[in-house]
Structures are given as C-alpha cells and as structure tokens.
Structure 1
C-alpha cells in the first residue's frame, strides 16, 4: 500500500493537470489502493486547498463542450450527471452558457445541416432530419422546432 503522503501528492498532481470531479479522484485513489476514510481525507484536503472544485469543473466542461463541440444543454446535463456532479454544480455549469449564444449556435448548426441536405426536396423529411440532428446534439425539442420552422419555411 502506498503511504498517504505519496497518494496525496499523486492526487494533487492529478487534479493540477486538469479539472477533475470527486468521482474521478476517488477512482484514481482506488487505483493507488487508497479507499475509505483515507480517500475521504485526501479529497477533503484537495477541496480545502482548491485543487478540486466541482463547480469550476462544471463551468469549464459546459462552456467548452458548448463552444467547441456545439453540444446543447440536454447533452451537457446528461454528461455532468453521468460524472456524478451535484445539482448545484450542474446548475453552475449550465449557467455559463449565454442564452443568445445558445440560440445563435442552434440556428447555425441547423442552417449548416440544411445546406448539407440541400438535395432533400420534401420539406417534411428535411425538417425531420434537421430536428433529429439538432436534438442528437442535445438541443431542446421546442427550440429546435421553432428555429426549423423559421428557417425551412423562409425561402433562401
């Protein structure tokens, strides 16, 4: 078994390299044969020393997945829950996404996909394909349909 100081240093380096969740740190500690109270003590120390901050993780994760991968809130929410973050941290993360940017991104991805599907002549099939694509990116159905109805019905 690794002594506590070694495990603490490795956990701190693990967190310093990039933002982590408590679950990820716990898994890392488990791989170092550190579990139970000792793992809890290390995690508390990492939180107190600001190596580990789930709110910060959620903000960075949500912001980057939205800006870089153009994920919608639903997909980001699902991923944050899968990473076992608290509801408070998830709300903090999702708050990083500006509503105007969100709508503009949704409009952009739908228009881009519409251009890719320009050979589709039937408007209903085109709308279904656009909606399926946008919703698979994690955008909410009501927002998707609002944008699609404005874009497809308007001549371009």
Structure 2
C-alpha cells in the first residue's frame, strides 16, 4: 500500500466526513483500484478517518438544522449515497421529534407570511404551503396537521 496515497486519502477524509463510496470513487480517480483501494479504505476506517455512522449523523443533523430538510428527503439522500438501513437509522436518531415538529412549524409560518403577500386565494395558499413542505421531505400527515393548525381550518 502506497503511504503517499494513504496520506492523500486521509487528508481527503479529514476535510469533511465522507462515505466509503465517495472515497472509493476518489481513489479510482487517482488510479487506485481493487484490493489496493480496499486496503486504503480499511486503513482509513481503522485510523478513524472514515466512519459511515459519523457521516450519517453529521449529514442528517446538518441538512435538518441548516437546510431544514425533512426525514424523507434526508433518508433518500443517505440511501442514494449507499449507506445501509442501520447506518441511516443511526443518522436519523440525531433529529429529535420536538425539534423536528418545531422546525416544520417555523418553516410553514415563514412560507405562509410570503404567500399571504402574493396569493389571495386561501385554497391555493394552502396547496402551495403543503406542496412546499412535502418538497422539503416532511411526512404528509405531519404537514397536514400543522397546516390545519396554522391556518385554523
């Protein structure tokens, strides 16, 4: 195993959390394939540079807090990145139910205030509000419940 490549891969992982697939793709870009790539990945895991569980927790927490994504969208993205169901569940544990609901409520209130300036029809306003929240990846029953509560219908 080439120490220079290991050091380069460690720097790549130290910059931000990565999945094994992302590291594998980067190694292939550098011309490293097969067993040598797997050896480097194993070494990165043993040196704690690479942890998919840590990636899932960081990703889920960040997308929820910063971009205010819902659970569906976060799960879908983690799955697309090749993480196991167990790892995805570990990442999703980063989001508390109370904070999740409060975040959606705040998001809906903010969107409603902009819609009230542009949309006069209450039915269209409600539809746009629901579509917006569903697009963010929130569960439909929660969206409906909070929308009804917010609009008082």
Deviation at 1:153, TM superposition (A): 1.7
Q: Any unmatched runs of 5+ in structure 2?
A: none
CA contact (8 A) 1:123 1:152 kept: no
Give me the TM-score of the superposition, normalised by structure 2: 0.95
- Secondary structure of the residue aligned to 1:33 is coil
**Counterparts in 2 of 1:31-50, with a 5 A limit?**
31-50=29-48
Distance in 2 between the 1:108 and 1:75 partners?
Answer: 18
1:51-70 → structure 2 map (5 Å cutoff): 51-70=49-68
State which of 8, 14, 17 in structure 2 corresponds to 1:16.
14
CA contact (8 A) 1:135 1:141 kept: yes
Relative to the length of structure 1, the TM-score reads: 0.93
Runs of 5+ in structure 1 lacking a partner?
none
- Runs (4+) off by over 3 Å: none
Secondary structure of the 1:118 match is helix
**Equivalent of 2:4 in 6, 28, 47:** 6
Partner of 2:126: 127
